[in-house]
Amino acid sequence: NIAQFQVYTPVPGSPLYEKIAREGRIFSQKWEDFNAFNEPLFEYGESKFKLMMEMQQRAYREYYFRPRIMVKKLLEVRNLKQFNAFVKAGVAVAKMSVGKAT
């Protein structure tokens, strides 16, 4: 089992995008910025960049850093290649959970 947590990104042409664009709350018009792994490209209601990113980071920490999940994932490792992938994924999740993902 894996979990991914992204901040919602309204894409051009969607009703929400059109609404927040009219209100001047879209911060980028470049397509390459519209993905789930970048910082939020808009403000919606009271949500601010920092709060949305903190919520995402907390979700990763609370899911992946539970001992049961860590042990379960480690027990799924069957060879060195899988172990290396496990370590690499663990480092990526750790970075993401403290806001250092790129």
- For 52-89, letters b (16+ CB in 10 Å) and e give bbeebbebbeebbeeeeeeeebeeeeeeeeeeeeeeee
pLDDT tens per residue, range 25-72? 888 878 787 776 667 778 766 667 778 888 888 998 899 889 998 899
Q: What is the pLDDT of residue 54?
A: 86
Q: What is the pLDDT of residue 100?
A: 64
Q: What is the pLDDT of residue 102?
A: 47
Q: Which of 40, 65, 41 is nearest to 53 (CA)?
A: 40
pTM for this entry:
0.65
pLDDT tens per residue, range 61-101? 899 889 998 899 899 999 999 999 999 988 988 887 777 65
d(CA 92, CA 78): 21
